[in-house]
């Protein structure tokens, strides 16, 4: 079956045209890092680049194409998978060209990255290594220094579901109450705490709903050498991570909008953005989503509650 990545819109990306020209002129780098905000576009661009190098419409089905991706529920690139790819590159290939696609290189464990560095710096002749991630700032410096980086334009798609837009409106109302303060100490429970915990619960429910919808709409995961169950779990976690990131971006946008509407609370909004980033990091480490988001809102509430009343 032809891969969904070989689509005309992706082939028209400027970065791919630049690399195609470099390849024709014999200036193709051996390691390319694609970065951007839309994970789906990045994945398709990486696959299109692999197709161009191998001269195959469906590179993921080609025996000389290897894929490294986060594995299992830990969502990390483990050393066992790295060593398998490195060992495979030492074997003779069917064609003069080979490709390694590294999905989410920001998920390398330190030992895994170290095991891959020599190959990344000096791959076997004819080998192209394509890395792609939406989290460029988390990629280890030792990986970054060995790649030529290209930014792929475009923003991550907005979640347009009416239930999510309704959630965002409730979030904005809660933030406004935090800015103004409850009408009385007795009203704090009904005006702030009950809506706060309701938002937390709905956030988790909506996340699972959107992940389920994304999995139904997404193409089947690419072939892998991993155990089928492990590969399925890893693929689902990758989709969940992308959906969750888009939701948290929307939450951060709401925070910043409240900050612009209430300049006197700019310091508290800045603290809230920091609390949200802490929650995001905890979720990346498989901390419970509900607990992490609840902690973010409670810390935000505390920031507003402790500010001087004349701010």
Average pLDDT for 147-152 = 90
Q: 141 and 38 in one domain?
A: yes
Average pLDDT for 94-121 = 92
Of residues 53 and 13, more confidently modeled: 53
Task: Name the least confident of 30-34, 189-193, 297-301.
Answer: 189-193
**Residue pair 297/175 in contact by the 8 Å Cβ criterion:** no
Over 60: is that where the pLDDT of 51 sits? yes
The domain tally of the chain equals 2
Per-residue model confidence (pLDDT) at position 9: 65
The single-letter DSSP state of residue 1 is -
Confidence band for 1, pLDDT divided at 50, 70 and 90: very low
First to last CA, the chain: 62
Q: 235 and 216 in one domain?
A: yes
Average pLDDT for 76-101 = 89
Q: Which of 171, 179, 172 lies closest to 304 in space, CA to CA?
A: 179
Over 70: is that where the pLDDT of 175 sits? yes
Average pLDDT for 94-118 = 91
Confidence band for 52, pLDDT divided at 50, 70 and 90: very high
Beta pairing class for 127-133 and 65-68:
unpaired
Report CA-CA distances (Å) from 281 to 31, 110, 275, 278, 288.
Answer: 28, 17, 10, 5, 11
How far apart CA 246 and CA 265 sit, in angstroms, is 25
Q: 222 and 101 in one domain?
A: no
Report CA-CA distances (Å) from 86 to 56, 81, 105, 110, 118.
Answer: 22, 9, 15, 16, 9
Cα 268 → chain centroid = 27
Q: 175 and 88 in one domain?
A: no
Rounded to 10 deg, the angle between the 79-90 and 110-121 helix axes is 20
Residues spanned by the domain of 20:
8-151
Per residue in 258-306, pLDDT (tens digit) is: 888 888 888 899 999 999 999 988 887 778 999 999 999 999 988 888 7
Query: pTM higher than 0.85 for the full model?
Result: no
Q: Is 156 within the bounds of a domain? A: no
Confidence band for 3, pLDDT divided at 50, 70 and 90: very low
Q: 188 and 138 in one domain?
A: no
User: Over the chain, what is the mean pLDDT?
Assistant: 84
Q: Is 3 within the bounds of a domain? A: no
Q: Is 183 within the bounds of a domain? A: yes
Average pLDDT for 136-163 = 85
């Amino acid at each position: 079956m032809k891969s969904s990545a070989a689509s005309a819109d992706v082939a028209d990306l400027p970065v791919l045209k630049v690399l195609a020209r470099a390849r024709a002129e014999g200036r193709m780098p051996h390691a390319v890092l694609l970065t951007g905000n839309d994970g789906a576009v990045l994945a398709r661009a990486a696959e299109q680049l692999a197709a161009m190098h191998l001269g195959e419409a469906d590179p993921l089905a080609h025996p000389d194409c290897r894929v490294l991706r986060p594995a299992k529920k830990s969502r990390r690139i483990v050393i066992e998978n790295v060593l398998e790819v490195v060992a495979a590159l030492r074997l003779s290939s069917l064609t003069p060209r080979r490709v390694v696609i590294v999905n989410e290189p920001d998920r390398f464990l330190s030992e895994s990255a170290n095991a891959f560095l020599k190959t990344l710096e000096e791959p076997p002749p004819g080998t192209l290594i394509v890395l792609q991630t939406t989290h460029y700032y988390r990629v280890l410096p030792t990986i970054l220094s060995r790649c030529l980086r290209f930014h792929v334009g475009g923003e991550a798609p907005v979640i347009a579901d009416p239930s999510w837009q309704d959630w965002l409106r409730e979030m904005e109302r809660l933030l406004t109450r935090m800015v103004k303060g409850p009408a009385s100490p007795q009203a704090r429970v009904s005006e702030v705490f009950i809506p706060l915990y309701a938002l937390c619960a709905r956030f988790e429910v909506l996340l699972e709903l959107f992940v389920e919808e994304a999995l139904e709409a997404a193409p089947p995961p690419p072939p892998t050498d991993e155990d089928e169950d492990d590969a399925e779990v890893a693929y689902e976690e990758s989709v969940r991570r992308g959906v969750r990131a888009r939701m948290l971006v929307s939450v951060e946008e709401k925070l910043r909008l409240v900050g612009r509407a209430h300049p006197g609370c700019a310091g508290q909004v800045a603290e809230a953005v920091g609390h949200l980033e802490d929650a995001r990091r905890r979720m990346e480490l498989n901390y419970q989503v509900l607990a992490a988001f609840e902690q973010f809102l409670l810390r935000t509430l505390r920031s507003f509650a402790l500010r001087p009343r004349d701010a």
